[in-house]
């Protein structure tokens, strides 16, 4: 990251090399670093594993390190000619996600103010690099659905770089309407993870999952095509709204091997890609249409 | 109407008399006159039946007569202390509702411009009377769903008096999501018709109905409680959004007698009325909450 | 058309040429001419675009021209060895499809009488050519569902050539049960358009569509496999009832390009074609079955 | 039965006495005797319990006794002024209901021929008494759904007295569409049992039920209002088709006490009764409608 | 609590007084104290509000206080002649409910071991008092579904007093199958809260809820009859399994006033109560049944 | 069978020959012989067709012959290196599957006792051969669902060889939940038939089928992929539970030809096979995890 942020030359070479294999770098990702921008103490111990030794056990230093990492990722993205960047928001409030015990008045507001304060300098730097920050909306993060994203967007005053990575699998697991979500937020969706999931609640377990392993949870991730995500609906809506980013396959499955998942996943995505039509069937194919003609049709 | 528009005294007496029976005038309605504000020639013959003889066969005069009637209804409403008024928008475009043959480009725009031009003086007069015009969104009218209402609202530049009468039965018959409709338009809903309906398509008929009589249509109106409308959901949403108008029963049923419909309808509505709670369960019932407390909960 | 109707030789040559490319002429179509057999004045201006200049602005002449065209299509079909013909019925009543204002008593009956009177000579000519007239049941036409088809069939006294073209996409858009439709009318289905569609109503719009363009309507056409039509169910039922006509792909999609639609559509149809079995599992594979055996099994 | 069949006087007195309590005899029932008209030997032992001692162990005599009983019931019904009669068809084929082992060709045809032969004299006698035989379509009987009823009706050449008793509970238990059933057979429905049922299949059991007791079957009967039967839909359809027989409550519940079931059942039925309307909303309320008017509306 | 635990006399008097009003004490509840048996530090501040001042800020002392409170509740229950007791389990693991970051191996096992160690002495004391501990399975608690309850039950070696309070509202909010839950755990269900709820996910929010207030969450509690809980199904299953505890109304609604909720809730419950039948329809009403008879029916 | 039971050498040669074509013997099947282990007299005539002439008309001898055949199949399976065997249970009670007339008390118990007595020696012999008896749970057999299987298992005291062949098509036809069935019985499922089916009830017919041919039954078998079976769900569950037997295609379709069914069926199965993953996403990827670390995460 350091090198890529410092040297445009290095990035050009890297990109050239990768392109020479017929591959593309679609976007950089800083999920772990983004997560470390905001960590509630209850999660410190477990998240320290993602931090370098120098800042472990020192949350303040860890936060600063994470912020710098994000900025470098912005510069590196610019050097690589990328316009979107994938990350997590981090979380100060996640342990209060179910309102028992009740949240004291003002808590949520303060939490989002603090989160926005940490992210604003990052967003501004991304803006100067011409790159969108795409938050992967995800449980465990303060940005875990549309409602929480809207609160954040308010706090950063609708910052144009505070955008979204769309991954429907996380919405299946919380039973959010992931198609209507596109209707609501499509202007902000700049990155897209193609990941499948299923939710099969029983008399034993629902969304919360009883602390079970992935294979025994009602909601779990699946290989592409094996879950319940309506990808035809998603690709239709993204095409309709003119999304032109990458469809990036993400694989995480508790049943099928990664090899089979990869082998089947690439053609699965290809099959879903829509070449957008230029033909409309709305055009009237009749006589010359002038104002008089229209007035006659309307009878006015 | 003439009398009520001219004389506040008459209105006071009328109101007093009606109140003396334990009744209320909830709002005036000009569905037929509103309809005549805009009529496409294809419907002239059939709509002339709602016009006075003096303007029959003379569409231009009929339109002017209708506009004057609407204005009088505004004044009469003011005299009666009413703040909402029920009506139809009329239609210039309804014969083109299915786009075969295609609509020439510009047709819809011109139709709504003309419709708005006819309604603007009416809306302004209603505004001066402090009364909302509540369009009953209805097939046959240019305002027949949310999309067409939005086009009209654009043309009247978001006029604050261009409001809505909510009647879910017409949405069941066109399979529009009448609960989400409240989420979208609740700020404009100022009147409410409680009318039930059902839609039971078969292999023989769907929404369009094959020119059948009401009893043989897939979509048809029913007495309250006999149809498919989720009134519990509707009363919940209207209560949540603070609607405080009247719930006006409308009866039109192709099966049950009007007597039984009325007998059952009134208690049906009463059972659905929600007294709104003042108690919230979101309040934290703990120690004194100051900024320091909140910061500790957030770990910042 | 003139040439094909006049010259069997020309038709033989045309057919030979087309067959030489490995192609088949499946049926001729006169949708536009059939439409012009009956046009209500409210649609005159827009439908004149489909008529030759000589009859434009002259509805009576246009009707006669259309009737002659249909007859020629019958003869041409015979010359080409075809047994089915696709067309529209035209419409006199479509502007009254929603019963507001109410339809005067007798109106529907008179409309269908007139429609039948215009079609009867056409049907008789088709009969003499041994060709079925297959009406594409379609909104905008008087024959737009099973109920309206039945009224027409009554008026032409069950004419054996008054048959159906089955296109499920138009039934999805009006929420008619297109599988049960096959159960009801399979004996009359002689042509089949394989066209996909979807219907996704929202709080903003339902079946009527608010005068929106195709891409913004709740009901819209899609490329094969991208919509909601249960083609497996359709091919099963048509196979079960012994339909042996062509499965003709029709493409009209507001999202996907025609090239991709065509590329995917042909194998889509091929995958759905059913080779009908000759094996039944109902046969008793036991001892010789005579009356005595059966009586013993029944205990009589 | 003997007395009622012989003496009109006795019947008049009985009826008068019953009426004097404010009660009505709605119809007589011979379910057990009807069952004995046709019994396959596999069920002889268990059904002998319903026969008088004189014919026990003698199937032929038992059949004749049953036929005579039915005829007496017809005469008794006439004496009581009743026009409908409830019964079972009996069964020769029920043990072959699942086609394993396969049914030899001709078996079903022979079974229904025999069944019809036994019932024809009964039906004729009922006809002479002016009373409809209403078969309760029921598992265990050869008449257990619409398909088997149609085969029987064919064999009795569409006998006008071979009618139906409609009891939706038996259709829930076999997952037959009991609302569409009314559309198909309403002209033959002359009696109606109001009985509720539910079907809750699990991973352990489906329709067949694993030889469990009623309480442990996926399909089971319930008290009125506690099951899954859509009685609102049923009463609507029966009203629409002009059914004017009695709605007879039948109670059989594996959970709730008969006392509570009765207490709740009567008002449940009363609440569902529909007083049919005489008002139609299809009428055009306009100018005088003559042929010229209609022609103008159609533009012809 | 102290007094009730110490004095049987006091309890007798209290009970007598309450009974004299026609009321019953159904069970005691220690939700808040049970919660304090196990609190993760991330929730210390907010839960201290439920503890007496003497143990605030001292988690260890608070835990001990809570354990003693529970024991007193057991004794008091015995004094009052009660056999079931309602409480919460508390939680050490709730902040890890979503497995991001991943839970280290052994964490869940250790958490439940500790929880069981704290509860075992309480359970034993309840056992000596003849009272069942009924955990209200609830988000925020370590016992929040069937899977987590089973883990706990394993750790307390299937302690016979580790029972369940059934409240379906908490299962609606996590989309757990609350009817199948009764099939799985009915032997342990000893208390029952009748509380309604609804879950209406949108494109904005799903189960997790975006830190919104109750009224704006997809899952929220409702007054009895206004939510989505299938109480008919619940009362049926509890009756079928012989549950004979109280049906205790719990009211918490974000829309309707508590007065209306109470007024409607009591008759709602009454209407759902099932008097269990003693009549079975499985009995064969035939000839004397001996072994020979059965062998003949089976053909063996 | 005789040869294979007697000669290991023959079996080795047979197996070698078959393997040389790239094929495998997956298991032997004795559906017809298993059926003959228990036949109620009502089915004697029709089942005699599956018996050799020497035992026809002699049920006792036929039973003994069937039992011997089963034993030979066990030995032959051992010789062929097979560990699972497919068969039917036969039936003594099937004619009583619907409880009308009621089943006398003790009947079901006696039937299953007799059935178990006949199968126990067979099961013991299979055990000595190391082969599982896999009953195809099927209508017409006493083992036709989970409930009846459990009764049988009780009677053979949970014999470890009394296992199951899983064929979801028979569950679709009785509307049993075939996915939950795997959750309940996966430990006993040792064989698997991949067969598709559909159930489309109408107003004419439900599960029982009105004695119609297969093509006219609401429930009927279909070629793989053409029915309603959720094979993705089935293969997922079988993979999750570690099933490692064969997925054996069974074809029986009333619509599609066997050639097309076979051509499409093999790749259909291949596409559904899941290579099980070895990667879990539950692992914590952090610092060294010792007890102290865990205690800190829990706050204890």
What 3-state DSSP class applies to E98?
coil
Question: Which pTM was predicted?
Answer: 0.96
What 3-state DSSP class applies to E166?
strand
Which among D56, D202, D214 is the nearest to E281, CB-wise? D214
Chains that touch A (3 or more CB pairs under 8 A): B, C, E, F
Does position C174 have pLDDT exceeding 70, yes or no?
yes
Please, what is the angle between helix F258-272 and helix F231-240, to 10°? 40
The F-side interface with C (CB below 8 A) comprises 45-50, 56, 213-215, 221, 226, 252-261
Of D299, E118, A228, nearest in space to B43 by CA? D299
**Segments forming the whole domain that contains residue E249:** 2-298
The CA distance from A215 to B240, in Å, is 40
Q: Are the beta carbons of F284 and A46 separated by less than 8 Å? A: yes
The CA distance from F98 to A224, in Å, is 44
Interface mutation vs chain E, best among D49, D227, D252, D255, most E CBs within 10 Å = D255
Q: Could you give the maximum distance between any two Cα atoms of chain C, in Å? A: 79
Q: Are the beta carbons of F110 and E299 separated by less than 8 Å? A: no
Number of domains in chain E: 1
Instruction: Kindly report the number of other CB atoms within 10 A of residue F188's CB atom.
Output: 17
Residue B8's contacts (CB-CB under 8 Å, 6 or more residues apart) are B79
Which among C41, C101, C285 is the nearest to D299, CB-wise? C41
Q: Are the beta carbons of E175 and A210 separated by less than 8 Å? A: no
How far away is chain A from the Cα of E272, in angstroms, using its nearest Cα?
Answer: 22
Which among A42, A103, A282 is the nearest to B102, CB-wise? A282
The CA distance from C33 to C76, in Å, is 15
Of D93, D140, F210, F46, nearest in space to C300 by CA? D93
Q: What CATH code is carried by the domain that includes residue C60?
A: 3.20.20.150
Determine the Cα angle at E95 with ends E94 and E101, to 5°.
125
pLDDT band at C263 (very low <50, low <70, confident <90, very high): very high
Q: Quick one: pLDDT at residue B281?
A: 79
Backbone dihedral region for residue A123 (phi beyond 0: left; psi -120 to 50: alpha; all else: beta): alpha
**Dihedral sign (CA E262, E267, E272, E276):** positive
Contact D218, D200 (CB under 8 A): yes
pLDDT band at C39 (very low <50, low <70, confident <90, very high): very high
Edge-to-edge strand order for the sheet containing F84-87?
Answer: F28-30, F84-87, F132-136, F162-166, F189-194, F248-249
Residue in D closest to E278 by C-alpha: D257
Q: Are the beta carbons of F103 and D138 separated by less than 8 Å? A: no
Q: What is the pLDDT along chain A (300 residues), one digit of tens a residue?
A: 899 999 999 999 999 999 999 999 999 999 999 999 999 999 999 999 999 999 999 999 999 999 999 999 999 999 999 999 999 999 999 999 999 999 999 999 999 999 999 999 999 999 999 999 999 999 999 999 999 999 999 999 999 999 999 999 999 999 999 999 999 999 999 999 999 999 999 999 999 999 999 999 999 999 999 999 999 999 999 999 999 999 999 999 999 999 999 999 999 999 999 999 888 777 776 767 889 999 999 999
pLDDT band at D139 (very low <50, low <70, confident <90, very high): very high
Q: Are the beta carbons of C257 and A276 separated by less than 8 Å? A: yes
How far away is chain D from the Cα of B49, in angstroms, using its nearest Cα?
Answer: 4
Q: Quick one: pLDDT at residue D41?
A: 97
Contact C196, C221 (CB under 8 A): yes
Which among D56, D202, D253 is the nearest to E277, CB-wise? D253
Residues of D in contact with C294 (CB under 8 A): 104, 106-107, 110
pLDDT band at B22 (very low <50, low <70, confident <90, very high): very high
The CA distance from C85 to C4, in Å, is 14
Of F249, F250, F253, F251, nearest in space to F215 by CA? F253
Q: Are the beta carbons of A255 and F278 separated by less than 8 Å? A: no
Does position D287 have pLDDT exceeding 70, yes or no?
no
Q: Per-residue pLDDT tens for C209-253? A: 999 999 999 999 999 999 999 999 999 999 999 999 999 999 999
Which among C104, C286, C294 is the nearest to D106, CB-wise? C294
Which among F48, F49, F258 is the nearest to C277, CB-wise? F258
D with F: how many residue pairs have Cβ under 8 Å apart? 185
Residues of C in contact with D105 (CB under 8 A): 283-284, 289
Q: Are the beta carbons of E255 and B277 separated by less than 8 Å? A: yes
The C-side interface with F (CB below 8 A) comprises 232, 236, 239-240, 274-282, 284-287, 293, 296-297
Which among A48, A214, A260 is the nearest to F287, CB-wise? A48
Residue E283's contacts (CB-CB under 8 Å, 6 or more residues apart) are F102, F105
Q: Quick one: pLDDT at residue E282?
A: 78
Residue D126's contacts (CB-CB under 8 Å, 6 or more residues apart) are D74, D85, D132, D133, D161
Interface mutation vs chain F, best among C275, C288, C297, most F CBs within 10 Å = C275
How far away is chain F from the Cα of C293, in angstroms, using its nearest Cα?
Answer: 8
Q: Quick one: pLDDT at residue B287?
A: 64
Q: Are the beta carbons of F110 and E42 separated by less than 8 Å? A: no
Q: Are the beta carbons of C211 and B103 separated by less than 8 Å? A: yes
Of D85, D80, D84, D82, nearest in space to D11 by CA? D80
Residues of F in contact with D142 (CB under 8 A): 211
Which among E183, E278, E296 is the nearest to D45, CB-wise? E296
Q: Are the beta carbons of E282 and F102 separated by less than 8 Å? A: yes
Could you write out the DSSP letters of every residue in A24-43?
----EEEHHHHHTTSB-GGG
Interface mutation vs chain F, best among D211, D214, D218, D219, most F CBs within 10 Å = D211
Interface mutation vs chain C, best among F32, F44, F170, F254, most C CBs within 10 Å = F254
Of A201, D96, D201, E284, nearest in space to F147 by CA? D201
Residue in F closest to C234 by C-alpha: F226
How far away is chain D from the Cα of E72, in angstroms, using its nearest Cα?
Answer: 39
Q: Quick one: pLDDT at residue B235?
A: 98
Q: What is the mean pLDDT of residues B258-273?
A: 96
What 3-state DSSP class applies to D268?
helix
The CA distance from A211 to E184, in Å, is 19
What 3-state DSSP class applies to E50?
helix
The CA distance from A268 to A274, in Å, is 12
- Mean of all residue pLDDT scores within chain F: 96
Edge-to-edge strand order for the sheet containing A162-166?
Answer: A28-30, A84-87, A132-136, A162-166, A189-194, A248-249
What 3-state DSSP class applies to C57?
coil
Q: Are the beta carbons of A275 and C254 separated by less than 8 Å? A: no
Chains that touch C (3 or more CB pairs under 8 A): A, B, D, F
Does position D113 have pLDDT exceeding 90, yes or no?
yes
The CA distance from A167 to A250, in Å, is 9
Q: Per-residue pLDDT tens for D4-50? A: 999 999 999 999 999 999 999 999 999 999 999 999 999 999 999 99
Do E and F touch (≥3 CB pairs < 8 Å)? yes
Q: What is the mean pLDDT of residues C274-280?
A: 88
Which among C111, C176, C182 is the nearest to B201, CB-wise? C176
Sites in chain F below the pLDDT cut of 70: 285, 287
ipTM here: 0.95
What 3-state DSSP class applies to B103?
coil
Which among E236, E293, E296 is the nearest to D255, CB-wise? E236
Q: Quick one: pLDDT at residue D200?
A: 98
The CA distance from C107 to E104, in Å, is 77
Sites in chain E below the pLDDT cut of 50: none
Instruction: Kindly report the number of other CB atoms within 10 A of residue D182's CB atom.
Output: 22
Q: Are the beta carbons of A46 and E104 separated by less than 8 Å? A: yes
Residue in A closest to E149 by C-alpha: A210
- Mean of all residue pLDDT scores within chain D: 96
What 3-state DSSP class applies to D98?
coil
Q: Are the beta carbons of E226 and B236 separated by less than 8 Å? A: yes
Residues of E in contact with B276 (CB under 8 A): 255-257
The CA distance from B102 to E136, in Å, is 62
Residues of F in contact with E285 (CB under 8 A): 102
A with C: how many residue pairs have Cβ under 8 Å apart? 54
Paired residues of F191 in beta bridges: F165
Residue in F closest to E43 by C-alpha: F299
Q: Are the beta carbons of D49 and E285 separated by less than 8 Å? A: yes
Alpha helices in chain A (DSSP H): 2-6, 8-20, 31-35, 44-47, 59-79, 107-129, 146-155, 169-172, 178-185, 231-240, 258-272, 291-298
Q: Per-residue pLDDT tens for D244-275? A: 999 999 999 999 999 999 999 999 999 999 99
Question: Strand ranges (DSSP E) for chain B?
Answer: 28-30, 84-87, 132-136, 162-166, 189-194, 196-199, 219-222, 247-249
C with D: how many residue pairs have Cβ under 8 Å apart? 82
């Amino acid at each position: 990251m350091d090198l890529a942020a410092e040297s445009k030359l290095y990035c050009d070479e890297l990109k050239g090399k990768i392109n020479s294999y017929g591959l593309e770098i679609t976007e950089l990702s800083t999920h772990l670093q983004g997560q470390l921008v905001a960590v509630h103490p209850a999660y410190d111990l477990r998240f320290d594993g993602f931090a370098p030794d120098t800042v472990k056990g020192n949350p303040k230093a860890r936060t600063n390190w994470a912020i710098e990492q994000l900025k470098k990722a912005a510069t590196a993205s610019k050097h690589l000619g990328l316009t979107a960047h994938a990350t997590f928001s981090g979380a100060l409030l996640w342990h209060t996600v179910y309102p028992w015990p009740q949240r004291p008045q003002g808590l949520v507001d303060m939490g989002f103010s603090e989160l926005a304060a940490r992210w604003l300098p990052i967003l501004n730097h991304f803006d100067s690099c011409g790159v969108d920050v795409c938050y992967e909306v995800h449980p465990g993060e303060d940005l875990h659905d549309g409602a929480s994203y809207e609160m954040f967007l308010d706090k950063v005053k609708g910052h144009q770089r505070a955008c979204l990575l769309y991954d429907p699998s996380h919405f299946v697991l919380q039973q959010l309407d992931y198609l209507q979500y596109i209707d609501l937020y499509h202007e902000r969706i700049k990155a897209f993870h193609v990941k499948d999931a299923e939710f099969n609640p029983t008399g034993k377990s629902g969304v919360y999952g009883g602390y079970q392993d992935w294979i025994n949870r009602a909601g779990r991730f699946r290989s592409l095509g094996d879950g319940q995500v309506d990808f035809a609906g998603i690709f239709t809506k993204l095409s309709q709204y003119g999304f032109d980013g990458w469809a990036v396959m993400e694989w995480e499955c508790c049943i099928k091997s990664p090899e089979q998942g990869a082998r089947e996943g690439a053609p699965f995505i290809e099959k879903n890609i829509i070449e957008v039509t230029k033909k409309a069937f709305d055009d009237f194919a009749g006589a010359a249409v002038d104002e008089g003609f229209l007035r006659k049709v309307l009878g006015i």
